[in-house]
Amino acid sequence: MHHFIMAAQAAFGAGDADGSGVIEYAEIKAALAACGFNMTETSMNILLRRMMAPSGLYADSGAGLTFPQFVDLCAYCALARRVFSWHDTDLDATATITLDDFMGMVMVIKP
């Protein structure tokens, strides 16, 4: 856990160039990549739309994410990756799943 937090802190610090304590939305993808979460633009847009929606976890976050919110987002990404890896046995970022598998995955990672 310590390594996870330290990696998130380093990535957040690099993204928070102005030292405001907030990482701007445009910098979130790079900060997540620095933590090992490399996503396509499509995946990133889906993730941010979900998290920033009026009913999402970060609905009130304004122009960016604070460090605790960023750590939470990293934890969510780690959980999603872990759940997906149950079906991506050859680690090629693809998996064939049944509807039951999908429903189980969604229920585990629901924010």
Give the residue among 12, 21, 26, 20 at the shortest CA–CA distance from 73: 12
For the chain, give every domain's residue range: 2-109
CATH 3.40.50.720 fits 2-109, yes or no: no
Tell me, yes or no, if the pTM score tops 0.85. no
The residues of the chain scoring below 70 in pLDDT are 1, 53-63, 110-111
CB atoms within 10 A of CB 64: 19
- What pLDDT score was predicted for residue 12? 92
